[in-house]
Chain A
Amino acid sequence: MEDVGEKLVQVVIALAIFAAIIALIMLLVDRAPKTFRDKATIIGFLAPAVVLLAIGLIWPAIQTTYLAFTDRNGSPNGMDNFVWMFTQPEALVTLRNTLLWVVLVPLMSTGIGLAYAVFIDRARGEKALKALVFMPMAISMVGAGVIWKFMYTYRGAEREQIGLLNQILVWFGGEPKQFLLDAPENTFFLIAVMVWIQTGFAMVILSAAIKGIPTEIVEAARLDGANGRQQFFSITVPSIRGALIVVVTTITIGTLKVFDIVRTMTAGNFETSVVANEMYTQAFRASEPGRGAALALILFLMVLPIVLYNARQLKKQREIR
């Protein structure tokens, strides 16, 4: 167990160094001359974040943009990578799949999560019921991939099934199905895994938002004779609009970046690849970093509207304040 101790020491040393750096910043800020102190504070407090972001995200983003216009030997090749992307059938399938993911996952996770949150609101055992659905959030995507690969496991009809879904098919007199091989529906079976993971997140946030709706409003609506459905659409949904936006945004960005699920379950075969997976495959396995970077740019463009929308919301709010 000497090994464990050594690793612990590394962790402690690292944290000590980090604490020392932060302490130094604080000291410098507090000792700065009075006239300069406010500025020093702003610089000192922002510097660590800005420096890290510059080297870790901004610089790479610039480099990738350049790479997207080069071939695998690093010489510029104009728009070739983009031409490849929009002419190769495989690449087109990848783009189509990504669109399916990005539409279906946020929609279904949020929909199911919201429905569930409403259904169990103030029900007995609400906490436990919530925990059950939230649990997949705590599982890694690789772990989730293993779980669902097991659910979808196929065996020939003559053998005993070990995957639950095929067993259910057999119980109902059907033939076992190669869930992960049959395109195009296999993409939906992969999407189901992501929905399974993200629903808990949507549910927890939305549930809390619902509980935050002032009682008086709900009460008034009830006295006005609104039924459950009317209450839901005219009171609940508008009141939690802000939470809905955050949930949809977060899940959408997460979905666009999804990579582990596809990689563990089909490795992008059988027409299931998505942009994030293809990006990795092209850049690292096929040694075509230019194509990988081009795909990354596409991903970037796909997320852009969502972020812009959120940025506008943010700006509006700050102006109100």
Chain B
Amino acid sequence: MHIARSRKAILPLAALSAMALTLSACGGSTEEPSGSEAAADCSAYESYGTFDGAEVSVYSTITDTEQDKLEQSWVDFEQCTGIDVVYEGSNEFETQLQVRAQAGNPPDVAIIPQPGLLAAQARAGNLKPAPQEVSDLVDKNWSADWKAYGTIDGTFYAAPMLASVKGYIWYQPSTFKDKGWEVPQTWDEMTALTKTIADEGTMKPWCAGFESGDATGWAGTDWIEDALLRQAGPDVYDQWVNHDIPFNDPKVADAFDAVGDILKTEDYVNGGIGDVRSIISTSVDDGGLPVIDGSCAMHHQATFQAANWPEGTNVAEDGDVWAFITPGQEAGASAITGGGEFVAAYTESEEVSAYLQFMASPEFANKRVEQGAAISANKGLDPALATSDLDRQSIELLQSEDTTFRFDGSDLMPGAVGANSFWSGVVEWINGKSTKEVVDSIEASWPSD
């Protein structure tokens, strides 16, 4: 009864490379097909050694076209090392990983997008510390901030994989040009621009969509985090995330209100979709679409929004859509929020170690990024490989020494808040509850230790 599982990986690989061509066409971005399926050049993989018939099961949140690209990026690794990577992507990842770990049936490797969940899994004793080779690679290729997110109670567990830069604001350059609107350099300028657009009356300034199945609301938490980091600075942000200040601290409430001035004002939202409350019934994927048809001026979403535009949309400074980073209090501020995944091991073996090393290497980052719609904070990554200007700009931002990078706060908090009450709190907030009610109830839900 064990047959079905193992043969799964072989079959799709053949199909995949054929499919990569057609899929990249659907992806919408301008990427070149990576067609090196036949004779892989194995010289880069010799150091990993070869394994006959070894299998590594990998579990992650990544599904859909993203999954195809991810699997494509380790095809050569599989061919050269003989390791069979059995990949499984699920939208139920966060719950299922915990179920499987609790029941004693974890995958070999999990790609975890929340440092909070990573820490919980490590503290529960489920994870294996990363091999020394991986730790060395991360020292070499990532900033200390990033390594710290993979380090729990002094032990280093997981190397970062890909990244995303949150807090981009998407707009249509041609519309801005026609109307004479300027890309705002400060938060105040952004508020002023919002008012200008609303007063002109041709379109509402903002559109948004927070609906995402049982994760509805997360897109709103990104907004709050961006505002808090920019208004109160990274230190307060860290205190907030670690619960050194309460969730209903006035500074946090101010961040809610700053966002509320935009998202909870009927005149400002929800361009091309409906009223304020339509934000929570519009899916994350669709929230930005009105920007394209000119019924909404701006949309706040991370780099991965690039994949949500309709096929053939040109993402460029002079193209159909482009984006600027949510401005800070002062022009030129460089604090950004972002997200990323961490590659953590539940089992120890030679092949798992080889896989972890590969995933932490610049080779993987390059292979994945050149397929488009992905970035990484790996310093060994060549920004020139990025398939779009936006990706290139984001990679440079991530690699730059001047950037203050903070991880998406909700991903760092305990699950009871970061994956539950913060999400639903934002939903209730958009649905009409006051800032005070919402921050108080989120604070109350913070688990005591």
Contact, chains A and B (beta carbon distance below 8 A): yes
State which of A10, A71, A156, A289 has its C-beta within 8 Å of the C-beta of B278: A156
State which of B213, B214, B217, B274 has its C-beta within 8 Å of the C-beta of A154: B274
Instruction: Jot down 28 A-B pairs with beta carbons below 8 A, ordered by A.
Output: A3-B11, A6-B3, A6-B4, A7-B4, A13-B1, A72-B447, A73-B449, A154-B278, A155-B273, A156-B278, A159-B274, A178-B281, A181-B431, A263-B214, A267-B213, A268-B424, A282-B420, A284-B94, A284-B95, A284-B99, A285-B94, A285-B95, A286-B415, A286-B421, A287-B120, A287-B414, A287-B416, A288-B416
Interface of B is mostly: helix
When distances are taken between beta carbons in the complex, the residues of chain B under 8 Å from A317 are: none
Residues B277-326 near A (CB distance < 8 A): 277-278, 280-281
When distances are taken between beta carbons in the complex, the residues of chain A under 8 Å from B278 are: 154, 156, 178
When distances are taken between beta carbons in the complex, the residues of chain B under 8 Å from A289 are: 102
> Are B277 and A178 in contact (CB-based, < 8 A)?
yes
When distances are taken between beta carbons in the complex, the residues of chain B under 8 Å from A71 are: 447
Interface presence of B25 (CB below 8 A): no
> Are B216 and A267 in contact (CB-based, < 8 A)?
yes
State which of A14, A73, A156, A286 has its C-beta within 8 Å of the C-beta of B1: A14
Interface presence of B441 (CB below 8 A): yes
Q: A50 CA to B384 CA in the complex, in Å?
A: 65
State which of A155, A180, A281 has its C-beta within 8 Å of the C-beta of B420: A281
Interface presence of B22 (CB below 8 A): no
Residues B197-222 near A (CB distance < 8 A): 213-217
Size bracket, chain A contacts: 35 or more
Residue-wise interface mask of A (39-81) relative to B, using a CB-CB cutoff of 8 A (1 in contact, 0 not): 0000000000000000000000000000000011100000000
Residues B246-300 near A (CB distance < 8 A): 270, 273-275, 277-278, 280-281
Total B residues in contact with A, Cβ cutoff 8 Å? 40
> Are A270 and B214 in contact (CB-based, < 8 A)?
no
Residues A121-171 near B (CB distance < 8 A): 154-157, 159
State which of A10, A155, A159 has its C-beta within 8 Å of the C-beta of B4: A10
> Are B216 and A181 in contact (CB-based, < 8 A)?
no
**What's the least CB distance linking B419 to chain A, in Å?**
5
Q: A302 CA to B21 CA in the complex, in Å?
A: 56
When distances are taken between beta carbons in the complex, the residues of chain B under 8 Å from A13 are: 1
When distances are taken between beta carbons in the complex, the residues of chain A under 8 Å from B431 are: 181, 183, 270
When distances are taken between beta carbons in the complex, the residues of chain A under 8 Å from B419 are: 285-286
> Are A10 and B1 in contact (CB-based, < 8 A)?
yes
Interface presence of B98 (CB below 8 A): yes
When distances are taken between beta carbons in the complex, the residues of chain A under 8 Å from B273 are: 155-156
Q: Given A154-B274, A181-B280, A287-B415, are A88 and B444 neighbors across the interface (CB < 8 Å)?
A: yes
Residues A246-274 near B (CB distance < 8 A): 263, 267-271
B97 to chain A: closest residue by CB:
A284
Interface presence of B85 (CB below 8 A): no
**Interface residues of A, Cβ cutoff 8 Å to B:** 3, 6-7, 10, 13-14, 71-73, 88-90, 154-157, 159, 178, 180-181, 183, 263, 267-271, 280-282, 284-289
Residues B390-429 near A (CB distance < 8 A): 414-416, 419-421, 424, 427-428
Interface presence of B445 (CB below 8 A): yes
> Are A285 and B214 in contact (CB-based, < 8 A)?
yes
Which of A268, A269, A281 counts the most B-chain CB atoms under 10 A from its CB?
A269
Given contacts A88-B444, A287-B117, 4 further A-B contacts (CB under 8 A): A71-B447, A89-B441, A157-B274, A181-B277
**What's the least CB distance linking A11 to chain B, in Å?**
10
Q: Given A7-B4, A286-B419, are A269 and B217 neighbors across the interface (CB < 8 Å)?
A: yes
When distances are taken between beta carbons in the complex, the residues of chain B under 8 Å from A178 are: 277-278, 281
**What's the least CB distance linking A2 to chain B, in Å?**
9
Q: A157 CA to B273 CA in the complex, in Å?
A: 9
**What's the least CB distance linking A250 to chain B, in Å?**
28
When distances are taken between beta carbons in the complex, the residues of chain B under 8 Å from A285 are: 94-95, 214, 415, 419-420
> Are B420 and A269 in contact (CB-based, < 8 A)?
no
Residues B131-177 near A (CB distance < 8 A): none
Q: A157 CA to B270 CA in the complex, in Å?
A: 12
> Are B216 and A90 in contact (CB-based, < 8 A)?
no
> Are B414 and A181 in contact (CB-based, < 8 A)?
no
Q: A149 CA to B416 CA in the complex, in Å?
A: 27
A176 to chain B: closest residue by CB:
B274
> Are A267 and B281 in contact (CB-based, < 8 A)?
no
State which of A88, A270, A271 has its C-beta within 8 Å of the C-beta of B445: A88
When distances are taken between beta carbons in the complex, the residues of chain B under 8 Å from A72 are: 416, 447
B117 to chain A: closest residue by CB:
A287
Q: A120 CA to B337 CA in the complex, in Å?
A: 63
When distances are taken between beta carbons in the complex, the residues of chain A under 8 Å from B216 are: 267, 269
> Are B281 and A181 in contact (CB-based, < 8 A)?
yes
State which of A89, A156, A268 has its C-beta within 8 Å of the C-beta of B275: A156
A273 to chain B: closest residue by CB:
B424
When distances are taken between beta carbons in the complex, the residues of chain B under 8 Å from A268 are: 214, 424
Q: A72 CA to B3 CA in the complex, in Å?
A: 37
Q: A282 CA to B417 CA in the complex, in Å?
A: 11
Which of A3, A88, A181 counts the most B-chain CB atoms under 10 A from its CB?
A181
Residue-wise interface mask of B (25-46) relative to A, using a CB-CB cutoff of 8 A (1 in contact, 0 not): 0000000000000000000000
Q: A7 CA to B275 CA in the complex, in Å?
A: 50
Residues B90-121 near A (CB distance < 8 A): 94-96, 98-99, 102, 117, 120
> Are A156 and B415 in contact (CB-based, < 8 A)?
no
> Are B447 and A288 in contact (CB-based, < 8 A)?
yes
When distances are taken between beta carbons in the complex, the residues of chain A under 8 Å from B274 are: 154-157, 159
